[in-house]
Each structure stands twice: as structure tokens, then as C-alpha cells.
Amino acid sequence: MHKENHFAQRVELERELLRALCAVPGTATFKTATQELAEYEWQSYENRIVFQALQSVLDRDSRWLREELAARTTRAGFPDLDWSFYFQSSSARTDLGALLRSLKEMTGWP
């Protein structure tokens, strides 16, 4: 696999993982996944910013999350993030556990 292709696939997998996190805020699954990902080295700067925003709102529901995340990232200097991607319903994989396993397999991350 070419290095550029691997990078693009990894960034897309990160985005899908973040989308899955946005689908289950405030749950035990969300909390476990964010704790596990706390030491992960995000390849995309935008993905890292989104994850940091998600970490700061561990106990919130999805309606509150939609409103607050944009405000938090804007205050952090990232007003142009497209949050609609993270909250759009999709037939994309949303099994958080499967996405985490895929990320670990792809990256060799523990």
C-alpha cells in the first residue's frame, strides 16, 4: 500500500470513528472509547480538534452536543469545522468497537 493511500485511509477511519462517537454521547461506550483514544496520535489535525472537543463533553446528550461542539471549536480557533458530517445519519459503520479494532489493526496502536 502506498504511504499516501494509507494516510488517506487512516484519516477516513478516524473520521468514521469520530462520527460513531457523536452518535453515542454520554453512554458508557462513549466514555470507554474516549478514554482509550486519549493517547492515540491523530493523523488529521481536524480529527484531533474534534476529538478534543468530544473529550470535554463526556456526559452530554446529542442535542446539547450538536450545539456546544461548534461553539467550543470556534472559541479554540477553528470556526470552519463542518459538524454536519459528524452528525449526519449514514449507512456508514457505526459499531464503535469494530472501528476501534480496525484503527488498531491499521496502525499497530495498542
Dist CA 19 CA 1 (whole Å): 25
CA-based nearest residue to 10, from 2, 29, 39: 2
Listed by start position, the domains of the chain span 3-107
Q: Is 40 left (phi over 0), alpha (psi -120 to 50) or beta?
A: beta
pLDDT in tens, 21-30: 888 887 888 8
pLDDT at 41: 95
pLDDT in tens, 47-96: 999 999 888 876 666 667 777 888 888 888 888 888 888 887 654 456 88
Dist CA 60 CA 24 (whole Å): 10
Question: What's the DSSP call for residue 16?
Answer: H
Query: How far is residue 33 from each of residues 2, 8, 24, measured CA to CA in Å?
Result: 29, 22, 10
